[in-house]
Amino acid sequence: MGKYQLKSVLFMFILSFTFLQCKEDENKNDILLSLLAIPKVNNSSAIPCPPTSLPTEIPIANTVVSANSTVSGFNNQTKAINGICGGGEFSGSLDVYALNLTGAGASLILSWAGKTVKNVSGIDFIVYENPFRVSESSDRYAFDPMVVQVSFNGTEFCGFDLSGYNPNVSDSNKISSWPGFAGLRPVIYNMATKPFTLNELFTPSGNSFLLGGGDGFNLDDLIVGGPDANCDSSTRSNIQTNGFKYIKMISASAVTNPNTGNGYTYPHSYDNGSDIDGVVAKYIE
């Protein structure tokens, strides 16, 4: 079964009991990794989100260009554009569009209805998934990493540097093991119950986190080439100069790691890939 079955109460009981029993155990990392094999769950299904209308001052990606997921119960593509419904640091959202682990359904392309996301100062856009931290004292997260690529014309896509990927299983659920990927940081922003201004969303809160959560990307960091991308120097220069119209998000497991010839794997038992809550740009025109 997928990570969305009604196992929330059982999971949280097991999680709390295990940490109480193992507070002084020197092998906490092994315990955490075992817990992360349990499907990701959500504690906040009662949150009234998405809102009935989206805030006009937040440039959220609002058009689905390509979506082919076959994940049962979570392949409603409108969930990727109907608003950001974060569950907070310790809970994921259910208002998401879930990607497959591999195949045609492992990617999603969104746009801003023909408008262009411009390259401005600092972070240019934020991708929101539904990760959560496993405990207050832990640096471990339950997440579904994804690869992010952008394009001006919808055919030539450029991505970000993934070379810092750390395949060490013992550290695979640490954010620091997945530089350049999205779907890592919890989503604090909730358009219905925890609103932020656009400026606040792009304000750092320390240690590469943002006030509203999510994973921020700067177009200045685009690279030539890159795994499963068709980006040359001219394409990159055009995007950095003129901006982009399309964003593609791909489950990491569906992208080939050039160092291994296999997908970027994350050791979990889920039967689907990344869960997309939405994308917000800093400035569009």
Q: Residue 268: which pLDDT band, with cuts at 50, 70 and 90?
A: low
Residue 19 has pLDDT above 80, yes or no: no
* Cβ-based neighbours of 202, under 8 Å, separated by 6 or more: 122, 123, 126, 210, 216, 282
* pLDDT given for residue 269 in this prediction: 57
Residue 5 lies in a domain: no
- Residues 175-219 pLDDT 10s: 999 999 999 999 999 999 999 999 999 999 988 999 999 999 999
Residue 170 lies in a domain: yes
Query: Taking residues 2-31, what's their average pLDDT?
Result: 39
Of the ranges 48-52, 126-130, 149-153, 208-212, which one carries the lowest mean pLDDT score?
48-52
Residue 31 lies in a domain: no
- Residues 81-138 pLDDT 10s: 999 999 999 999 999 999 999 999 999 999 999 999 999 999 999 999 999 998 888 8
**Token pair of 99, please?**
């990607």
**Token pair of 133, please?**
């931290």
Residue 265 lies in a domain: yes
Residue 79 lies in a domain: yes
Residue 66 lies in a domain: yes
Domain extent, residue 147, equals 45-281
Residue 11 has pLDDT above 80, yes or no: no
Residue 26 has pLDDT above 50, yes or no: no
Residue 80 has pLDDT above 50, yes or no: yes
* pLDDT given for residue 46 in this prediction: 52
**Token pair of 24, please?**
């002084």
- Global pTM reads 0.85
The total number of structural domains in the chain stands at 1
Closest CA to 129 of 278, 280, 281: 278
